[in-house]
Structure 1
Amino acid sequence: MRRKVGVPRQVRMYSAIYGLAALALAAYGVPRLPKLEHGLAGTFSALWLLLLALYIGANLYFWLGADRERARRLEEEAYQSAAREERPGRIRLRARG
């Protein structure tokens, strides 16, 4: 019997909530940032925008299921590898632990 692959529904829901929180933070914070100019204030604004973009991107990556596809592919490879190992007529060596 094959086990289910993917992210539980509750975890995906949390990811969606975190993504909406990031968008709310962007809507609130971006208009209040200092202008992108040379100096400490401009550097702060650039770094803040970069971190916000990374945060939103990571949530979208997770929410859209890119990890789910990768997990499915890895499980399929493991299933095929196990099927190759259990072919009749092959000598199977086990390591002693």
Structure 2
Amino acid sequence: MALVVGLVLAITIARWISGSIRVMSVAMDKMAQGDFDVTLAGADQHNELGQIARALEVFGANGRAVRNNQQQQDAQMRQAAIGQSRPWPGSPNRPAKSPASSG
């Protein structure tokens, strides 16, 4: 009887651990593809799986910060490019009027 209980307990624990690892593996795959907005279950656990989940949350937060900074830089670069492509009246970059168009 004790052997059966031990076997059932071992199988239950193994399934719980492998399920938790599978969920974290899916989250890590999403992060590797650039999706840093994944939700990680298990970060509140006080075991090794909880530690892994909390570390992955840090990776996600850092990834989001890098993505946001890149988006801000891209927006600034676009704005600077727009500003440079629009010559101001009287600026040396402004195309001169052709004599044919002055008619």
| TM-score bucket (shorter structure) | 0.3 to 0.5
**Larger-Rg structure:** 2
* Greater relative contact order (CA < 8 Å, ≥ 6 in sequence): 1
Give the structure-1-normalised TM-score.
0.36
